[in-house]
């Protein structure tokens, strides 16, 4: 329902379109951990619309109160993380690993928050711990244009526009260990930056 009704409905209301490349990199019947840059509350419905998988995701607890997005997240049991509470944050990450082991695809915004200037910010390691523990392939994804349509500075001022999403080739975690987390985070960050540049 999220992919076919909720997400397209939000984009329709905002008068916005989506363009996507790289769908051939998603293998039917598999599940992944998606790592995407983060620009706007609109990122979530845009990704839900174009990714042909049932997505679960980890989001900061503040999104609970966000209109449209927060309501949906509470209703569908998405994972909220409180970064100010290390015990609760660790519990949320454990829940995410369990979802993945049950065959779910999880979406993570590794920057930790929306980018203030629209550029890809440093990827934090937390999400990559999940990838390492679950052993599931990482799918790098870039998103562009959502911050122009729905700026995070306002929940009332919207503009029409086009969201461009590029999906990269999966990155295997086979043979990787926890000592390589920084390297993996940088690799995925650079992949996302390169994907964004495909749109100019």
CA atoms within 13 A on the CB side of 13: 14
SS3 content of the chain, % helix, strand, coil (to 5): 45, 20, 40
- pTM, two decimals, is 0.84
* Helical (H) or strand (E) element with 126: helix 126-134
What's the pLDDT band for 158 if we cut at 50, 70, 90? Answer: confident
Distances (CA, A) of 89 to 65, 96, 99, 126, 138: 18, 11, 16, 10, 21
Residue labelled with tokens 């620009």: 39
Q: Strand, helix or coil at 128?
A: helix
- CATH code at 188? 3.40.1130.10
pLDDT tens readout for residues 32-80: 999 999 999 899 889 999 999 988 877 666 666 665 666 566 555 566 6
Give the range of the structural domain holding residue 17, as residue numbers without chain letter: 2-199
* Helical (H) or strand (E) element with 75: helix 69-76
Q: What per-residue confidence (pLDDT) applies to 8?
A: 86
CA atoms within 13 A on the CB side of 161: 14
The number of distinct structural domains making up the chain is 1
CA distance 193 to 79: 26
* Helical (H) or strand (E) element with 87: helix 86-101
């Amino acid at each position: 329902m999220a992919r076919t009704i909720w997400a397209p409905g939000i984009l329709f209301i905002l008068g916005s379109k989506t363009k996507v490349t790289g769908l051939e990199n998603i293998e039917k019947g598999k599940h992944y951990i998606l790592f995407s840059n983060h620009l706007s509350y609109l990122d979530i419905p845009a990704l839900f619309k174009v990714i042909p998988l049932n997505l679960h995701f980890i989001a900061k607890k503040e999104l609970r109160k966000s209109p449209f997005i927060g309501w949906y997240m509470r209703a569908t049991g998405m994972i909220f993380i409180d970064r100010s509470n290390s015990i609760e944050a660790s519990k949320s990450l454990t829940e995410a690993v369990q979802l993945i082991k049950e065959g779910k695809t999880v979406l993570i915004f590794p920057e930790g928050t929306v980018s203030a200037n629209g550029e890809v910010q440093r990827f934090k390691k937390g999400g990559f711990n999940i990838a390492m523990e679950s052993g599931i392939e990482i799918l790098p994804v870039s998103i562009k244009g959502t911050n122009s349509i729905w700026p995070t500075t306002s929940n009332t001022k919207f503009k029409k526009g086009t969201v461009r999403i590029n999906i990269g080739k999966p990155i295997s975690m086979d043979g990787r260990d926890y000592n390589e987390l920084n390297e993996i985070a940088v690799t995925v960050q650079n992949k996302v930056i390169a994907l964004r540049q495909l749109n100019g």
